[in-house]
Amino acid sequence: MTKRISPGPLSSQVARSVARLRKQKGMTYTELVKRLADVGRPIPILGLRRLEDGDRRLDADDMAALARVFGVEPWSLTEPAHCDACLGSPPAGFTCNECGASR
Which CB contacts under 8 angstroms, 24+ apart, belong to 29-38? 32/69, 35/69, 36/65, 36/66, 36/69
Give me the pLDDT at residue 100, please. 63
pLDDT digits (tens, 9 = 90+) for 56-68: 888 999 999 999 9
Give me the pLDDT at residue 101, please. 62
pLDDT digits (tens, 9 = 90+) for 73-103: 999 999 877 777 777 677 888 877 776 666 6
CATH number of the structural domain 9-78? 1.10.260.40
* Average pLDDT value for the chain: 87
